[in-house]
Amino acid sequence: MKPTTLHNIQGGNEMIKVIQKAKGPLKGTVKIPGDKSISHRAVLFASIAEGTSTIHGFLRGQDCLSTISCMRELGVEITETDDVITVEGKGSSGLAEPDKLLDVGNSGTTIRLLSGILAGQEFYNVLAGDDSIAKRPMRRVTGPLKMMNASIDGRDFGNYTPLTIRGGNLQGIHYFSPVASAQVKSAVLLAGLYANGQTTVTEPFLSRDHTERMLRTFGVEVETEDLSATIRGGQKLQATKVEVPGDISSAAFMLVAGAIVPESEIKLDVVGINPTRAGIIDVMKRAGADVTLENERMLGGEPVADIRIKASSLKAVEIAGADIPRLIDEIPVLALLATQAEGTTVIKDAAELKVKETNRIDTVVNQLNKLGASCEATEDGMIIHGPTPLKGAEVESFHDHRIGMTMALAGLISEGEVKVKDTEAIAVSYPDFFEDLKGLLN
């Protein structure tokens, strides 16, 4: 019989999860859910391809479902079964003017990548999402798309939703992005497919390269060199079969759980280890974590492996520079790891955290400190003094999936109950998170 270390309290509209200290090590194998970034791209690219594409291992999280519903509004026929998503591609000019506003929910990837595609369409679109999306900066995408000739507006001259886009007649550009952002790079490259001439994006550090890899599997030529990617306008996408690997950003939670709950050993199956995403593995190894990759192979243009994590003693590390885009989404859970590491962990060059689903510098630092951690916010990151024992408290997730999961894991090593508010947001990227965690409790 497994002890019930996780249970729910429903308070008003909010789902509160109560997590108690794990009574023993975490043991077992988890099949990590599909990669969120790759799932979005698969639906978007299949929609503008010629022919019928199938997507296997698609993440049925709220964000990716928002991408599906937007593409349906644009006239794309998409069928869903438990195993396969089938997309009847409309070709590059077959999308139709939507009757309604395109609702992206909580999904930054949906609004930013879709804006790139819509910049190539002559019809009128309005895009908006939830309260978090309404606060997230869009000029980083609308700015270069306007330079390409798209007509875009929004609050604060195109910086905030609702965005209106009427595109067409685009001109290729060479865009030097001030931020290392795959959402910016992808939006500009997708618009580049519809532009005259060629379009290049150069970024300060390399961001995730799933767009470049997947466009090639749809038959598009994309040239990459150092920090630049170039696409020639007018190329057509051909339908294909996409296999989505497990999301390393979801695996991150299980990796950290396995590292901090004493004597744990967990195996994570079929996880994407694309070098532009795998920063967490390098950083955890530097911190003394016992992580091993097994059965490394390619799956649909992306490298994958099974990952084994065993609990071990941990030491503080510095996380900065080119590492940051390779693990930006993992910083909340790495901060939790740092609370258990010997020494002072310094995370810098990570100001991008302020414009995620929440200001993740503030939310991480404030909530971990409520649990007894010793964290300080800085202008571009945080400093964490460890190791500190954690204690029970009621913490907020602020409707941010990654904050909710980080806090739940903190409960596994805290003396006293950790109550995490608004955990329904976890379904954005990892709908079975609590079931998978329960399966590891002994």
Tell me whether residue 108 is annotated as binding: yes
* Site for ligand S3P contains 173 (CB under 6 A): no
| Per-position x/- string for 57-96, each x denoting binding to ligand S3P as judged by CB under 6 A, each - no binding | ----------------------------------------
Tell me whether residue 402 is annotated as binding: yes
Q: Which is nearer to ligand S3P, 181 or 369 (CB)?
A: 181
* Site for ligand S3P contains 181 (CB under 6 A): yes
* Site for ligand S3P contains 403 (CB under 6 A): no
269: β partners: 31
Tell me whether residue 216 is annotated as binding: no
**Rounded to an integer, what distance in angstroms lies between the CA atom of residue 328 and that of residue 247?**
14
- How many residues sit in the footprint of ligand S3P (CB under 6 A)? 11
Kindly state the smallest distance separating residue 209's Cβ from ligand S3P, in Å.
Answer: 10
Q: Which is nearer to ligand S3P, 208 or 370 (CB)?
A: 208
Kindly state the smallest distance separating residue 271's Cβ from ligand S3P, in Å.
Answer: 16
Q: Do 53 and 241 touch, CB atoms closer than 8 A? A: yes
Instruction: Read off the tokens for 57.
Output: 């291992």
**Rounded to an integer, what distance in angstroms lies between the CA atom of residue 124 and that of residue 85?**
27
Restricting to residues 19-58, name those near ligand S3P by CB under 6 A: 37
Q: Which residue is nearest to ligand S3P (CB)?
A: 37
Which residue, 185, 187, 152, 183, is CA-closest to 168?
Answer: 152
Q: Which is nearer to ligand S3P, 367 or 429 (CB)?
A: 429
Which residue, 128, 162, 158, 118, is CA-closest to 140?
Answer: 158
Coil, strand or helix: which one is 1?
A: coil
Which residue, 69, 66, 79, is CA-closest to 106?
Answer: 66
Kindly state the smallest distance separating residue 402's Cβ from ligand S3P, in Å.
Answer: 9
Kindly state the smallest distance separating residue 35's Cβ from ligand S3P, in Å.
Answer: 9
Q: Which is nearer to ligand S3P, 130 or 329 (CB)?
A: 329
Q: Do 254 and 269 touch, CB atoms closer than 8 A? A: no
Which residues are designated catalytic?
A: 329
In the chain, what is the straight-line distance between the N-terminal and C-terminal CA atoms, in Å?
8
Q: Do 272 and 38 touch, CB atoms closer than 8 A? A: yes
Tell me whether residue 36 is annotated as binding: yes
Count CA atoms within 13 Å of residue 40 on its CB side. 28
Q: Which is nearer to ligand S3P, 5 or 109 (CB)?
A: 109
**Rounded to an integer, what distance in angstroms lies between the CA atom of residue 38 and that of residue 270?**
14
**What does each C-alpha distance from 186 to 95, 200, 301 come to in angstroms?**
19, 11, 17
Neighbours of 415 (CB within 10 A): 12
Q: What is the DSSP letter of 134?
A: G
| Per-position x/- string for 192-211, each x denoting binding to ligand S3P as judged by CB under 6 A, each - no binding | ---------------xx---
Kindly state the smallest distance separating residue 372's Cβ from ligand S3P, in Å.
Answer: 28
**Given 54, 66, 92, 109, the residue binding ligand S3P (CB under 6 A):** 109
Instruction: Read off the tokens for 353.
Output: 């955290």
- Say which residues have a Cβ less than 8 Å from residue 320's Cβ, sequence separation at least 6: 346, 347, 348, 349, 350, 381
**Given 117, 328, 368, 403, the residue binding ligand S3P (CB under 6 A):** 328
Tell me whether residue 66 is annotated as binding: no
**Given 183, 240, 274, 363, the residue binding ligand S3P (CB under 6 A):** 183
Coil, strand or helix: which one is 35?
A: coil
**Rounded to an integer, what distance in angstroms lies between the CA atom of residue 198 and that of residue 174?**
8
* Site for ligand S3P contains 132 (CB under 6 A): no
Q: Which is nearer to ligand S3P, 183 or 363 (CB)?
A: 183
**Given 247, 329, 330, 422, the residue binding ligand S3P (CB under 6 A):** 329
**Given 48, 182, 334, 407, the residue binding ligand S3P (CB under 6 A):** 182
* Site for ligand S3P contains 103 (CB under 6 A): no
Return the exposure string of 247-278: e unless at least 16 CB atoms fall within 10 Å of the residue's CB, then b.
Answer: bbbbbbbbbbbbbbbeebebbbbbbbbbebbb
**Rounded to an integer, what distance in angstroms lies between the CA atom of residue 383 and that of residue 367?**
14
Place of tokens 């790139």: 116
Kindly state the smallest distance separating residue 262's Cβ from ligand S3P, in Å.
Answer: 31
Kindly state the smallest distance separating residue 199's Cβ from ligand S3P, in Å.
Answer: 17
| Residue set of the binding site for 3-phosphoshikimate | 36-37, 41, 181, 183, 329, 356
Residue positions in the annotated binding site for phosphoenolpyruvate?
A: 36, 108, 136, 183, 360, 402
Binding site, residues? 36-37, 41, 108, 136, 181, 183, 329, 356, 360, 402
Interface with ligand S3P (CB under 6 A): 37, 109, 181-183, 186, 207-208, 328-329, 352
